[in-house]
Each structure stands twice: as structure tokens, then as C-alpha cells.
Amino acid sequence: MPIYAYKCESCGHSMDALQKLSDAPLTVCPACGKHALNKQVTAAGFQLKGSGWYATDFKGAGTSATAATAAKPDAAPKTEVAATPCGASCACH
């Protein structure tokens, strides 16, 4: 939910309110009780940094993390273990 900034034109009281997008704007000032509270126009202040979902899913230029991972060849070839009764987990192999 976004945080909206409000300011009263009557008394100058300013406040922030956490509201849903569908909520009606507040109009009554909690400080003076008059219907003079107006929503302020403010810029969104956030920064995406770190190694979260943004870096792995949306940061690349049109490539997703899963597509980039699937395109890389395996670094080491897989070796098969011979089928033995002990499963090759004992000291005899």
C-alpha cells in the first residue's frame, strides 16, 4: 500500500497516511478538524539494490535468470559410477 502525504490548508498541519489505492482521499484535518486536508504530490522514494528478485528476474536486458542458466553448458562432464552391489560407497572401490 502506498503512503500519501497530506497538508491542511487551514492550519498547516502535515501528515502521512498509509492507504489503499481504492481508498478515498482524507479531507478532515486531525489537528484542527476542518475540511481543508489536501493530498500532496510527492515523488516515490525507493531504490532496488542487492541480490533479490529484482537482480535475478528483472535487471537483465530482456533475459531472465532461468533462460541465462539454461543456456550455459555444464562445466564438468558427468561421470557414471559402475553398478556394484555396494553402490560404490565402500572402501573397496
In a domain, 93, yes or no: no
Q: Is the dihedral of CA 43, 45, 49, 53 positive or negative?
A: negative
Q: What is the DSSP letter of 49?
A: -
CA distances from 59 to 45, 64, 69 (A): 19, 8, 15
What are the pLDDT digits (tens) for 63-81? 544 544 555 555 555 555 5
Is position 17 within any domain?
A: yes
How many CB atoms are located within 10 Å of the residue 92 CB? 7
Number of domains into which the chain is organized? 1
Residue 72 lies inside a defined structural domain of this protein: no
- % of residues, the chain, pLDDT over 70: 46
Global pTM value: 0.47
Show the cell assigned to 33: 478538524
Place of cell 572401490: 93
| Domain containing residue 9 | 1-60
Instruction: Please state, in angstroms and rounded to a whole number, the distance separating the CA atoms of residues 12 and 81.
Output: 78
Please report, for residues 8, 40, 58, the alpha-carbon distance to residue 51 in angstroms, rounded to integers and kept in the order given.
Answer: 41, 33, 11
Residue 85 maps to a domain: no
pLDDT in tens, 16-67: 998 888 999 999 999 999 999 999 988 765 666 666 665 566 656 555 445 4
Residue 67 included in any domain: no
| Cell matching residue 4 | 500519501
